[in-house]
Copies of this chain bind each other. A is one copy, B any other.
Amino acid sequence: MKYVITGATGHLGRQITRQLAQRVAPEEMTLGVHTPSKATEFVQQGMTVLPLDYQDVTSLVASLRQADVAIYVPSKSHDSFSRVSEFENVVTAAEQAQVKHLLVMGFIADQVNNPFDLSAFYGYVPRRLAASTLDYTVVRNALYADPLVPYLPELIARGNVIYPMGDASLSFISLAESAAAFAQLAVTPKLWRQPIYTLTQERSYTMPTLAEVLSAASEAKIGYAPITLPQFAALYNEGNEGHMLASMYAGGAQGLLATVSTDFRQIMGRPAQSLPDFLSATLAK
């Protein structure tokens, strides 16, 4: 089998690559990456690394050519149209390269009324795939749990979780768990009969409950004192992503980030690691 991973040096892509390497031989793995020098770890293990530019269909076709399974992780632009433009190149290239099965990262914030800046992209993706000649699986992730760990010192200093979420709850998955499910899906053709999976832990958290979990993990007293969406957008505008983040929590406050599914269990044969277990395991490292 030939496996191709695009964006293999990104946050999720790197973890998917590592997880897949636990299941298949490195000679079966091709990585399409923007900056090959960031992929030294993988070259040393015997994987093929090819330069890939999502804006250049030729380089995409070269990376994806005759993949049995290709895994596409979108690049990090902050608006739907940029991502749709990139995705059109990926679909065109995957069809040209005769990819047998395409795995695509999705996100739970894709509902028809979701004000999240990228909801239109995540709504576009599965429909575009349904209209393509491709065999595909969309893997919708819940919110990543991982950023909570480096965020803990700030939360402890503030004494509060400040997400503008009202009474609504958030659903999480860790990058490692998501990556494990991607890798498991890649090597398990019988799971390809279901076109969309949703990866979440088995419960979601209201902000007071999240604050309790973070208090227990950090052994500090953390409460819940939401700020407003504009305050949130201004506070976390690093890399100009304040608006996108605020729009995500605007959808969250409407209950649109609360989705919980047992699909992870269906793929992996076990439930996803709970948030308290993830936090204590990560903080112990």
A interface residue numbers (CB < 8 A to B):
80-81, 84-85, 88, 110-128, 130-131, 195-196, 247
Are A114 and B88 in contact, with the CB atoms below 8 A? no
Are B126 and A124 in contact, with the CB atoms below 8 A? no
Interchain Cβ contacts under 8 Å between A and B, 6 examples: A80-B127, A81-B84, A113-B195, A114-B127, A114-B130, A120-B124
CB < 8 Å neighbour of A88 from B81, B117, B125: B81
Contact residues in B for A115 (Cβ distance below 8 Å): 130-131
The majority secondary structure among interface residues of chain A is: helix
CB < 8 Å neighbour of A131 from B80, B84, B131, B196: B80
Residue of B nearest to A111 (CB): B127
Contact residues in B for A121 (Cβ distance below 8 Å): 124
Are B131 and A127 in contact, with the CB atoms below 8 A? no
How many copies of this chain are found per oligomer?
A: 2
Contact residues in B for A120 (Cβ distance below 8 Å): 124-125, 127-128, 131
Are B114 and A80 in contact, with the CB atoms below 8 A? no
CB < 8 Å neighbour of A112 from B85, B113, B127: B127
Known contacts A81-B84, A123-B123; is-contact A196 B112 (Cβ 8 Å)? yes
User: Which 4 pairs between the two chains have the least Cβ-Cβ distance?
Assistant: A120-B128, A120-B127, A119-B127, A123-B123
Known contacts A81-B84, A196-B112; is-contact A123 B127 (Cβ 8 Å)? yes
Known contacts A112-B196, A117-B131; is-contact A84 B126 (Cβ 8 Å)? no
Given contacts A112-B127, A113-B126, A117-B131, 13 further A-B contacts (CB under 8 A): A80-B127, A81-B85, A81-B88, A112-B126, A112-B130, A113-B130, A115-B130, A115-B131, A120-B125, A120-B127, A120-B128, A123-B124, A131-B247
